Amino acid sequence: MWHKTIGVRWLFAFLIGISVIAIVRERISAGSEEIKIAGGDSSAMTFKELTPEEERVIVNKGTERPFTGKYYEFNEDGTYTCKRCGTALYRSSDKFDAGCGWPSFDDEIPGAVKRSRDADGMRTEITCAHCGAHLGHVFEGEELTDKNIRHCVNSISLDFISSESADTLQRAYFAGGCFWGTEHYLKEAPGVVSTSVGYMGGNKTNPTYKEVCYENTGHAETVEVVFDPRKTDYETLARLFFEIHDPTQVDRQGPDSGDQYRSEVFYTDQNQKMVAEKLINILKKHGYEIATKLAPANGFWQAEEYHQDYYEKTGKQPYCHVYQKRF
């Protein structure tokens, strides 16, 4: 009986080990494989509800009439975002008057716009790289600006955030295991404008994922949350953070083990620190042995593109994060 018990335990440990290895391999190999993005499969994404006219252009690749769009003769400072998913696409500093009847830009925010051969076989279509929304077409060689490129975009495909509004946005940084799952839940919270995954809390400048995994960088997998304080507050987001991961685990989260998977709150000011301390004390009074650390935000290094919005891109579900009410 003793030998059988030992054998079962060894078999269980072996199977767990195989599972962990498979997860790590998936996370590393994802960078060398093409991840299918919406415009491929967008079924897992959450989109803004569109009007019939917006759907005609954004989904069915139509074109709005020239000289009629909201942003054609529009010159405020700020950022143009995707109407359907909210991703930042263009900066106002790259907008120019091409006299064509549609908003024109001679550059995009890096990685935000995808180019594809148009159905007519001649033009190059541009779409939101995040959700696949149709934007318009891109043209080169017209010599209208020094960059010699023109993104001809339908106004109806865009929203706009003014620089003045952007100045009111705030940031929060949370580390709670694999940043894929942490981001998945935080980005859906009301009032969140955008999220990014990356690395924080270590001693390595601009680390790679492999360095964080296999070298002693000291970084934790972290999610940067940009939120509008007029629509939510830091405490609401911090409470959610403590409810979407297990804050009692030390240097791990589910099957992921290592100090990069630790639970940590990186605060940007004393108010955020006090809020986090208050929530930790509440959880301790509820009987939780909290392992979450607190540290000042000291530089956020954005992770590789294939890690951003991972579950939206792949249509998969988090494997080590689940919502559990604790407050």
* pTM passes above 0.85: no
Residue 19 has pLDDT above 50, yes or no: no
Q: Supply the pLDDT for residue 25.
A: 45
Q: Supply the pLDDT for residue 292.
A: 98
Residue 209 has pLDDT above 80, yes or no: yes
d(CA 80, CA 128): 12
Please state which CATH class domain 52-163 belongs to: mainly beta
Task: Give me the catalytic one of 82, 85, 128, 152.
Answer: 152
Q: Supply the pLDDT for residue 85.
A: 83
Task: Give me the catalytic one of 82, 128, 178, 320.
Answer: 178
Give the contacts of 291 (CB within 8 A, at least 6 positions apart).
247, 248, 249, 250, 262, 263
* pLDDT tens digits along 258-300: 999 999 999 999 999 999 999 999 999 999 999 999 999 988 9
Do the Cβ atoms of 166 and 201 come closer than 8 Å? no
Residue 1 has pLDDT above 50, yes or no: no
Residue type, 58: I
User: In the chain, where are the structural domains located?
Assistant: 52-163, 168-314
Residue 40 has pLDDT above 80, yes or no: no
Q: Supply the pLDDT for residue 166.
A: 66
- Let me know if 82 is a catalytic residue: no
* pLDDT tens digits along 313-322: 888 998 889 9
Tell me what the mean pLDDT of segment 178-189 comes to: 94
**∠274-278-284 over CA atoms, to 5°?**
145
Tell me what the mean pLDDT of segment 35-39 comes to: 36
Helix (H, G, I), strand (E, B) or coil at 65: coil
In 146-294, which ranges are continuous DSSP H helix? Answer: 163-166, 179-186, 209-214, 234-244, 270-285
- What superfamily in CATH does domain 168-314 come from? Peptide methionine sulphoxide reductase MsrA (3.30.1060.10)
Starting at the earlier edge strand, list the strands of the sheet with 220-227.
293-296, 263-267, 170-176, 220-227, 192-200, 301-302
In terms of pLDDT, which residue wins out, 130 or 311? 311
DSSP line for 137-189 = EEEES--SSTT-EEEEE-GGGEEEEEHHHHTT-EEEEEEESSHHHHHHHHTTS
Instruction: State how far the alpha carbon of 299 is from the alpha carbons of 32, 142, 204, 222, 266, in Å.
Output: 27, 41, 10, 11, 10
Q: Supply the pLDDT for residue 161.
A: 87
Q: Supply the pLDDT for residue 235.
A: 96
Q: Supply the pLDDT for residue 5.
A: 42
